Amino acid sequence: MFSWKSSKSTDFSASAEETQKKDTAMINLTRPEKEKHIFTEEPSSASAAGDQEKPALKTKKEHAYKRHGKASQVHDQNTFLTNQDSHKNCEVKQSVSRSSSAMESHVDIEEDMYRDAEEIEREKVLPVCETGSSENKLSVASEMDILEYCQKEWRGNTPMAKCMKKGYEAVSQKFTSIRRVRGDNYCAVRATLFQALSQASELPEWLQSEELMLLPEKLLSKYDWIRQWQLRPKLGRKMGELSDEIKDCLMLLRKKWESMSEMKSPVERQAACDELFTNEEEEYSLYEAVKFLMLNTAIELYNDDKKGRKVPVFSWLLFARDSSSNPSQLMNNHLNQIGHTGGLEQVEMFLLAYALQYTIKVYRLYKYSTDEFITLYPNDPEQNWPVVTLITEDDRHYNIPVRMCEETSL
């Protein structure tokens, strides 16, 4: 289904140049903290009042960075040490992986610093199966002036707040507005897919392929472990055969993408996209389709590497983790967790890009004034791949900048 730039290797062992690329990439690609299972809401009036009563206190986000930022700093130090001793790269990499896992476990059990205590307690008493039919929570909020949004979110004068303000100011030179994305651990997939559909001008070739609909049955017959795939339960009806359920998700993705691409007016397409992302059953079915495409892409990359074919550098990193040394582990420990206990890690942003054959351009605000402020996934994109642009403050939650003043393709 995917056309990789593959070439048969004359030697199955990695060359010195490839080994150096692996080491360099492993050093430079830092592993982000796992995204907690949260629903980010607009700050409540009670929260705003609290900020006025206690102006000396940092905002919730500044508290979060103070606590979570330490883990990131430790990881950056470890990767720096790895760079100093390339001969011990494997040992340091394993150590970093273990320490990262430990830090992530600690982060997962911490209270959510992005919400008020009242919001946290209120959600605890809600049934797990409640889907928001009574509240109708928006998956992608209405657009807001990007500088106003920054002032609202970052009111302090700490170094982190100053960095964010400068980052937002830089982004405002290219975009005038921002749309806040619901933060339920689907946000990276949600933001990317929303942007892709709202900008769709044609149906991608890989979505036109008839083989796409045969993919679930084909993979399930070849890899029995895929039966452990965790589909999001659908309210009001029983789940059918796994292959049929995934096929329905893929068919829906094709149908919606085709429908969006046939709309000539950007305003019409945007309105249709807004409506789609308030239909919870369809929305989450689209995410299941995207996740399955990510799994298929990972399987292809893994098999190509085993056969000695050329694969993107991120593929080495994807399967170098203790928790995803093969596609089965990737599915169980990562893809199955998306939208439940965790979001996308940075290396998985590359996988998402390859699965959709889109370049994902991300403004990483906490990296302002560094070479990583604007990051491309993949960093050597195909020239004919369309581009979607996201914005993040911490590599965990992604929002959507809109009203673009720049080209939409590289």
The residue from 187, 249, 394, 395 that is catalytic is 187
CA nearest to 253, candidates 217, 299, 213: 213
Q: Does residue 28 surpass a pLDDT of 90?
A: no
314, 308 contact by CB (below 8 A): no
Q: Which of 234-248, 292-306, 396-410 has the lowest mean pLDDT?
A: 396-410
Confidence at residue 141, expressed as pLDDT on a 0 to 100 scale:
94
Q: Considering the chain, what percentage of its residues have pLDDT values greater than 70?
A: 63
Residue spans of beta strands (DSSP E) within 146-201? 175-179
pLDDT at 409 over 60: no
Q: Are 259 and 225 in contact (CB under 8 A)?
A: no
Computed over every residue of the chain, the mean pLDDT equals 75
**Active-site residue flag, 187:** yes
Catalytic one of 184, 334, 394, 395: 184
258 or 4: which leads in pLDDT: 258
Spell out the residues 6+ positions from residue 124 whose beta carbon is closer than 8 angstroms to its own.
none
Q: How confident is the model at residue 61, as a pLDDT?
A: 56
Other C-beta atoms lying within 10 Å of the C-beta of residue 21 = 14
Which whole number is the average pLDDT over 188-203?
Answer: 95
What's the number of CA atoms in the CB half-sphere (13 Å) around residue 83?
13
Residue span(s) of the chain under CATH 1.20.1300 come to 188-357
What is the arrangement of strands in the sheet containing 387-392, beginning at the earlier edge strand?
A: 144-145, 175-179, 398-404, 387-392, 359-364, 374-377
Mind listing the pLDDT tens digit for each residue in 354-397?
Answer: 999 999 999 999 999 999 999 999 988 788 899 999 999 999 99
**CATH code that applies to domain 188-357:** 1.20.1300
Tell me, yes or no, if 405 is annotated catalytic: no
Is 184 designated active site?
yes
pLDDT of residue 37: 35
AA letter at 346 = Q
The pLDDT score that the predictor gives to residue 137 is: 66
d(CA 50, CA 168): 25
Q: Which pair of tokens denotes residue 61? A: 């986000």
Instruction: Please report which confidence band the pLDDT of residue 136 belongs to, taking 50, 70 and 90 as the band edges.
Output: low
> Within 10 Å of residue 407's Cβ, how many Cβ atoms?
7
Select which of 68, 75, 334, 397 is catalytic: 397
